[in-house]
Structure 1
């Protein structure tokens, strides 16, 4: 009986330590709803961060440091990316661990990508990768996610 209790405790502890941390909660939306072919729309990526976590921006000025956010879009003839992904409201701080200045977000983050719609009802797909680190204990977690925007265009006037 004692052996069963010890094994149960060990297995329970192993299961708890194997849980995946997900301190960044992603969502996406369009900047407007009524979109016609030929118009420009912004794809908006919003992130809610758990308390004491930083998300590193896609815009960085270093070679070695925390991994920046990356956005990859699956090319398609139904849309055209304009410029690059813009980080809205990031902060800048010196990171003594990497000995570089980093651009990061805390609490919330927002990224925007302008897109020109070239044809009727495009579907824009891709993925993002990112790194978040805890300012409480220095723990860092990498994450990825897929996105898909199904844009229902309206008729030209």
Structure 2
């Protein structure tokens, strides 16, 4: 009996680890213009391809306590200046019974835009995007942080 219990525990722990160690979304960071002029405002575009059965929460304010909103953190340097905040493009907005309030999220594909003003030639945009994914079945949630770098000419 104890061997069966040990086997079940080992199987559960391995499955839980495998779920949390495999990313459930692929992130791509680009800009809408490869060679911007000094003083020009460009879009830093973040796209996520989300695995089936998972959802990613938007950058919009969420209920509290509730899911964590997607945020971007750029390393500051004198070659650019942020313009406004990270914008979620067309998220699903729904009253969620689990979180007990309105949440906004994406299924399958997410898109975010951060406006950036270019101050110097050859600007470097380096940072991280921090986001939360949850399953649509049992509500298991995982927080991720992906680094990126975009070099402009």
The aligned residue for residue 79 of structure 1 is: 80
**TM-score, reference length from structure 1:** 0.83
- Counterpart check, 1:117 vs 2:118: yes
Deviation at 1:76, TM superposition (A): 1.2
Deviation at 1:17, TM superposition (A): 4.4
The DSSP-based 3-state class of the residue aligned with 1:72 is: strand
The aligned residue for residue 50 of structure 2 is: 49
RMSD: 1.9
The DSSP-based 3-state class of the residue aligned with 2:117 is: strand
- Greater alpha carbon shift after TM alignment, 43-52 vs 53-62: 53-62
- Counterpart check, 1:58 vs 2:63: no
Aligned equivalents of 2:64 and 2:137: distance in 1? 25
Contact 2:44 2:114 in 1 (8 A): yes
Aligned equivalents of 2:102 and 2:15: distance in 1? 35
Cα gap change, 1:62/1:16 in structure 2, threshold over 3 Å: closer, same or farther? closer
Structure 1: segments with no counterpart, 5+ residues: 1-8, 153-157
Deviation at 1:136, TM superposition (A): 2.1
The DSSP-based 3-state class of the residue aligned with 1:18 is: helix
Deviation at 1:56, TM superposition (A): 0.5
- Counterpart check, 1:126 vs 2:127: yes
The DSSP-based 3-state class of the residue aligned with 2:45 is: strand
Deviation at 1:127, TM superposition (A): 0.9
The DSSP-based 3-state class of the residue aligned with 1:55 is: strand
After the TM superposition, which parts of structure 1 deviate over 3 Å for at least 4 consecutive aligned residues?
12-17
The aligned residue for residue 17 of structure 2 is: 18
Structure with the greater alpha carbon radius of gyration: 1
